[in-house]
Amino acid sequence: MEKNNISDEEIQRSNAIIKAISTYYTSRIVGQRNLQISLLISLIADGHILIESVPGLAKTTAAKVLTESCGGKFSRIQCTPDLLPSDIIGTQTYNAKTGEFETKIGPVYSNFVLLDEINRSSSKTQSAMLEAMQERQVSIGGLIYKLPEIFIVIATQNPIEQEGTYLLSEAQQDRFIIKETLNYPNESEELEILNRIESNIFAKTERCISIKEIKYLQDLSKKVYIDDAVKKYIIGIVYATRNATKVIRPELAKYVINGASTRASISFMEASKALALINGRTYVTPDDIKALSYSILRHRITLSFEAIADEVQVETIIEAIISSIKAP
């Protein structure tokens, strides 16, 4: 039984805000519909997003467009092996004139932080973002600095280059509510990109919404109804990742080393509420959970080296699990 805690006026305002963002996005980005939805989910669910693709598929541009749409503060951090934690969170410097130490806040103090090619930074630097991503604060010189109320990390990584890269730890990956993978545009989309560049249609335009409206969407998403049956469906899927041998075929289950944590269940719930709002609904359906399964689980299931050797993709495991769990 659906419990509607959201008024018609609230859903109409939500629809208008989401439509404004989507229109702005499509005016600047050609194709990449999945990325658009994932960025919206990240925005509404107040979570961080990891984007993986080869270079040149508009990951950075998409992050900037999201920021431009609401006029938020944007920081781009190009990750390199020599990047230090202080380059991200900030540090204390000595002022010879006053004889005192002064705190210099790093670029992390923004509404939207783009960590470009995060897997190029060292493990020590990657870990510097853990406190910021989880606690929404940074510690400098023993003092704690709260980050902005709207704070979203958009991290990108290149899967094809291995030299000079560092694998993200499971703990780091788990902080991202979703992981999106991008494919090359088709021929018609690539032609449209060329035509837009030739016509200079990508010129920056004025924002279409405000940061306050982003906060409105985030607060409204918490009121979206999710039935206990859908929650149990989520739990069943996450449980299956941890006990693959009991759910899917042995020839596939043998490739799974570790399943998803409880954070995956939380991410499913929060992201599905955001997706329901995007689709103009006040309640979550099992189809929302299915639609999110790849994005929520692909970075939370650890496969063995045997899986890599046999060219078994994590999406194959996820598909098998979804097919084996009965939806309510």
pLDDT tens for 101-158 read 778 888 888 888 888 888 788 777 777 777 788 888 887 777 788 888 888 888 888 7
Q: What is the mean pLDDT of residues 294-317?
A: 89
Q: Give residue 4's pLDDT.
A: 61
Q: Give residue 272's pLDDT.
A: 95
Angle at 175 between CA 23 and CA 15, to 5 degrees: 25
Other beta carbons within 10 Å of 250: 8
Please, what are the domains in the chain? 224-328 (1.10.8.80)
113: phi then psi, degrees, rounded to nearest 5: -115, 115
The b/e string for 186-207 (b: 16+ C-beta within 10 A; e otherwise) is: eeeeeeebeeeeeeeeeeeeee
Other beta carbons within 10 Å of 179: 20
Is residue 158 packed enough to be buried (19+ CB in 10 Å), middle (13-18) or exposed (0-12)?
middle
> Cα–Cα distance between 106 and 204 in angstroms, integer?
26
Task: Please say whether the beta carbons of 182 and 162 come within 8 A.
Answer: no
> Cα–Cα distance between 285 and 264 in angstroms, integer?
17
Q: Give residue 163's pLDDT.
A: 54
pLDDT tens for 197-225 read 777 665 555 667 888 899 999 999 999 99
pLDDT tens for 221-273 read 999 999 999 999 999 999 999 998 898 898 888 998 888 989 999 999 999 99
Q: Give residue 271's pLDDT.
A: 95
**Mean predicted lDDT score pLDDT of the chain:** 84
Instruction: Please identify which residue in the block is written with the tokens 């799974």.
Output: 256
Q: Give residue 233's pLDDT.
A: 96
Contacts of 49 (CB under 8 A, 6+ apart): 38, 39, 41, 42, 152, 153, 154, 155, 176, 177, 178, 179, 180
| pLDDT confidence tier of residue 3, bands split at 50, 70 and 90 | low
> Cα–Cα distance between 235 and 321 in angstroms, integer?
12
Could you give the count of Cα atoms lying within 13 Å of 305 in the half-sphere of its Cβ? 0
Q: Give residue 1's pLDDT.
A: 41
> Cα–Cα distance between 287 and 295 in angstroms, integer?
14
Per the rule left: phi > 0, alpha: psi between -120 and 50, beta: everything else, 141 is: left
Tokens of 226: 């999710």
Contacts of 183 (CB under 8 A, 6+ apart): 53, 57
Angle at 186 between CA 307 and CA 287, to 5 degrees: 60
Q: Give residue 199's pLDDT.
A: 74
pLDDT tens for 180-200 read 888 787 788 788 778 877 776
The b/e string for 21-58 (b: 16+ C-beta within 10 A; e otherwise) is: bbebbeebbbbbeebbbbbbbbbbbbbbbbbbbeeebb
309: phi then psi, degrees, rounded to nearest 5: -65, -35
Instruction: Please identify which residue in the block is written with the tokens 């658009």.
Output: 36
Task: Please say whether the beta carbons of 269 and 296 come within 8 A.
Answer: no
Instruction: Please identify which residue in the block is written with the tokens 């099992």.
Output: 286
| pLDDT confidence tier of residue 165, bands split at 50, 70 and 90 | low
pLDDT tens for 41-83 read 999 999 999 988 777 667 777 877 887 888 788 888 888 888 8
In sequence order, what are the beta bridge partners of 168? none
Q: Give residue 160's pLDDT.
A: 61
Q: What is the mean pLDDT of residues 306-323?
A: 90
SS3 state at 79: coil
Task: Please say whether the beta carbons of 157 and 168 come within 8 A.
Answer: yes
Task: Please say whether the beta carbons of 219 and 274 come within 8 A.
Answer: no
Q: What is the mean pLDDT of residues 18-45?
A: 85
